Structure formats: structure tokens, C-alpha cells
Amino acid sequence: MKNLLLAIIAMVCLSQNAFAQCEGWGTPQDSMRTVTQHVLYRDYLKNAKDKSPKEVAEMYREALPFWKHCYKNAPAATKKHFKDGIKIYKAFFAVETDKAKQKPHLDMIYSLYDRRVQCFDNELYIRTRQLTDMFYYLNASQDEIYKLAKQITEWADNETESVVLLPLMSSAVYLFQQQKINQADLLQIRQKIETIIQHNIAHQEDEKIRDQYKKAKEQVDAQFGAVETGFDCSYYRPAIVAKYKADPDNKKVWEAVRQELIDKYCGMDDPIVQEITAKIKASNQQIRDEIDERNQAKLEKLNAPARKAKEAYQAGNYAEAIRLYESAIAETDNANKQADYYYIIASCYLNTKKYPQVRTYARKASALRPTWGKPYILIGKAYLNGACGANDWEKPLCYMAAVDKFRKAKSVDPSVSADADKWIGNYGGEYPPIEAAHSRSKKDGERVSTGCWINETVTLKTKQR
């Protein structure tokens, strides 16, 4: 310790006061006691390593008078006086459970950061350290974290440290969910963060630092993903429409684009959706489908199992109809005919109230003919009739799942729009009451399960009683 004292005293003569209230060691004669106090409190900090939080706090309390002397008489003699002070008061804050008693520790921590900026004039670096403390240790409000993180990125731009990015994205997502910032604000933050990350991945020479930005990207993407599904059409539309504009004559492309626009809430009135819908109606494929249907009707007259199955169905003998249609499916390789037979079998099960089987066979029909809307309407009816669970929660969720199927039906097959719209009109507002959602800690926009045999996932909407 004697050698350390002598080394510090030797440095004192080189120290100068840079700012008011930012005193250094002073003269060797005046600073002897301060140097001694510095060494004493630093020993406590070193000996507290690997101790429990409570033990650390107790040791720091013993070190506190020595540190206070250094901070009062030579605050800017070394950066350690600020860094160690923050460490000491963070330890006190961590073990204190009374919020009123936490506040003086918190105030002191912020005061130390402010004065460190005053004395050492490296605000960007210091505020970045302050931000990480606020985010991980000090229970700062999301508004405060967002404000400081955003300010740091404005100062540093592409040189922003990776540790700033998660606090910024996390606080922005929270404020967006609380409707304190809007979608445009959140997307602007998202783009700013992405620009910083991509710049550093491309230009940072230190592989370890590059990996830190890659890790930050994973964390930021996870935070953003929590709210991304709640964005409106304006967020998704430009990228989707770009696919269509790049290849407008490719039927598979424009059918996929139409469906994606509908799935992203752009609506049937969207001009691109309307344009593609007109193409579907006028396409040669539709004409070929109509010819296939006429040929299928002719072939059915020659198909004995199918003919007998139809007779059994019309007579209300659904069990026999199912057996015969299964035989008819086995006897033909025509996918359209098989789709029709699976659909009729699903209808038989609907009439006999065997709702899980309705879905099973309707899905088989839609798998063979993906642009046919009727199987989805059949599944929707099964969900309505087979809805189960509590009247204020599971059943309304089942109705929402049914409405999703009706919307799916008209999105893949415009010819069933009138029928689908009828069912949507009857059940489109059957949402769970907001009280039921609150009692289950759920809120609008979350993806929730219907439960029971339906076991679908829907985007929650609620209604006021």
C-alpha cells in the first residue's frame, strides 16, 4: 500500500482543475489524506468481489465515508471516484426494498453521471453507460429510457454502441403499445437501428464488436416482432405490391400477392386486389375449371358408387352416403372429382353434427382444389355449430375463428363472396367482452387460442358490454 500511496502522490503534481467544482488531487501536502482515503475505500471495493448483494452493500457502507471524502475534496482526480460512487450507490439501491428509501440512492447515481459529464466532457460515452444502468438496474421509466437512447443515437448516428439498441427498441415498442408514439415513430426508430447495425456489420473491423451488433440485431428483431403483426396495411403494402409490379403476368405471383394483401388487412377495395380479382375471373384457368366441372358431371353418371352415394345423400342416409363416396374416391384419379366427394362427405358430417370430421374432409377437398371457397365455408359452419367453452370467452373466440374461415373462403374464391359475407355479417361482431379479456390478462391484437377441439389461433378483438 505504501508504494501505491507514493505513486498516486507523484501523479498529483500533474493534475489540474479542468472545470469549476471538478477539483483534482491538489497539492501533495493537501492531498495526503485524500490519497489515503482513496486507497482505503478501494480496498473495500476489491474485497467485496464475489460476495452476495447484501454483503457487498454492507462492505460498501463501510467504504462510504472514505469515498465521500475523496468525492468532496478531489472528485475529478480520477474517473474512479465517479465510477466507484455509482457502483456503491447501485449496490445500496439493489438491496433496498422501500421505494422511498431507494430514491436518495437513485438521485445520487444520476447526480454522479451529470457531474462526471461536467468534469470529463465525454458525454456520449458517459450517457451510454447511464442508459445501460437505467435499463438493466435502475428501474427507470420507459419514457426516460426512450428519451435518452434516442438522444444518444442522434449524437452518435452510425457510431452508436450496440448496447444502446435494445433499450431503444424495447422502450419504443412499449410506448407504441401504450399509444404514446405512433406507428410512423416506431418504424422510424426501427429503420434507424437497422441502419446502425448494418453499417457496423459491414464496416467494423473488430470481429468481437461485429458479433455484438449481430447479437443486438437478434434482440431488436425479437422486440419488434412482438408488435409487427399489429401494423396496418400501409406498413406491408409497398413490399407486396413490388412483387406484383415485378412480374404482373405470372399467375402464381399475382394470386399470391392478392392473398397476401388481403391477409395484411388491405381489404377487397384495394385497387391491386380488385385488379387481380378481375384477372382471376377472366383467366383461362377459370374456363378450364368450368369445362372440367361439366365433364365431371357427365362422368358421375357413369360412376355407380358416386350415383348411389348421391341418392343416399338426398335420402338423408348420411352414413351410407359417406361409405359410398369413399368408394367413389378410391375408384377415380380425377382430383376435381375427389375434391367434390370429400366436400360432400364433409357435408354429411355437418348434418350429423360430427364437427371435427367436417373439418378433416373439408381440408382434404381444399387441398385438392386450393382456389375453391366452399370447403372453408363448411369449416366455418362447423366452428359455429361446434363452438364450446365459456359463453364470454371460448365461444366468441370460436366464432372469430369461423369468421376467419369465411373471409378465407372469399379471398381464395370470389364466387362465394355473397355467401361468405352473409355469415360474416351475422357473426363478424361476436367478440369476447373486454372484461373477460382483462380477467385473463389478454388485450386486443394478441394472438390467442380458441381451445377445445377447434384449437385455432385468432387475433383478439373485444367489445364493451
| Residue-level pLDDT, tens digit, the chain, 465 residues | 434 444 433 333 333 333 337 888 876 666 788 999 999 999 999 999 999 999 999 999 999 999 999 999 999 999 999 999 999 999 999 999 999 999 999 999 999 999 999 998 889 999 999 999 999 999 999 999 999 999 999 999 999 999 999 999 999 999 999 999 998 899 899 989 999 999 999 999 999 999 999 999 999 999 988 887 767 777 778 878 888 888 888 888 888 888 877 876 678 888 888 888 888 887 766 677 778 778 777 665 656 788 888 889 999 999 999 999 999 899 888 999 999 999 999 999 999 999 999 999 999 999 999 999 999 999 999 999 998 887 888 889 889 999 999 999 999 999 999 999 999 998 878 888 888 888 888 888 899 988 889 999 988 888 876
- In whole angstroms, what is the distance from residue 462 CA to residue 434 CA? 5
Q: Are residues 65 and 205 in the same domain?
A: yes
pTM of the model: 0.52
Query: Is residue 292, in this structure, part of any structural domain at all?
Result: no
Q: Are 276 and 309 in a shared domain?
A: no
Question: Buried b vs exposed e over 153-180: b needs ≥16 C-beta within 10 Å?
Answer: beebeeebbbbbbbbbbbbbbbbbbeee
Q: How many domains does the chain have?
A: 4
Contact criterion met (CB below 8 Å) for 200 and 210? yes
Give CA–CA dist 298/295, Å, rounded: 5
Are residues 345 and 304 part of one domain? yes
- Cα end-to-end distance, the chain, whole Å: 74
User: Is there a single domain that holds both residue 58 and residue 132?
Assistant: yes
pLDDT score of 71 = 93
Residues 185 and 277 in one domain: no
Q: Are residues 104 and 218 in the same domain?
A: yes
Tell me: do 214 and 269 sit in the same domain.
Answer: no
Placement of cell 443486438 in the chain:
216
User: Is residue 287 assigned to a domain?
Assistant: no
Pick from 342, 347, 359, 343: nearest CA to 401: 359
150 and 201 co-located in one domain: yes
Are 351 and 207 in a shared domain?
no
Task: Kindly state whether residues 332 and 460 are assigned to the same domain.
Answer: no
| pLDDT for 323 | 93
- Whether residue 102 is found in the same domain as residue 72: yes
What are phi and psi for residue 131, nearest 5 degrees?
-60, -45
Range of the domain at 271: 233-282
Q: Are residues 92 and 185 in the same domain?
A: yes
Distance of CA 21 to the CA centre of its chain: 47
Here the CATH number for the domain that contains residue 66 is 1.25.40
By C-alpha distance, which of 304, 254, 312 is closest to 279? 254
